[in-house]
Structure 1
Amino acid sequence: MHSDKIRVTAPKIQNREFVKPLLCGPGPCDYWPSVAEAIANPVITPNCEEFYGVLDDIRAGLQYVFQTQSKLVLAMSGAGHAGMEAVINNLVAPGETLLIAARGIWDQRAEIIAKRLGIKTEVTRVPMNTTFSLEQIETELKRLRPAALFITHGDSSTGTLQKVDGLGQLCHKYGALLLVDTVVSLGGVPFFMDEFEADGVFSSTQKAFSGPAGISPVAFSTRAE
Structure 2
Amino acid sequence: MIKKLSKQTKVLISITSLLIVLVGILGCLFLFLNQPKKRIYATEDAGLSWAKDVEIITDYLVVESDRRPQIEREIKWIVIHETDNRGTSATSSNHNSFLHNDQSQVNSWHYTVDDHEIYHHLPDHEVAWHAGDKKTEDGGNMTGIGIEMCVNQTGNYNQTLSNTAKLVAVLMDSYDLTIDDVKFHQDFSGKICPHRLITEGKTKEFLEMIEIEYNELKAEELKDESK
Q: Which has the larger radius of gyration?
A: 2
Query: Which is richer in strand?
Result: 1
- Between the two structures, name the one with larger relative contact order (CA 8 Å, sep ≥ 6): 1
- Of Structure 1 and Structure 2, the greater helix share is in 2
* TM-score for the superposition, normalised by structure 1: 0.26
- Report the TM-score, using the length of structure 2 for normalisation: 0.26
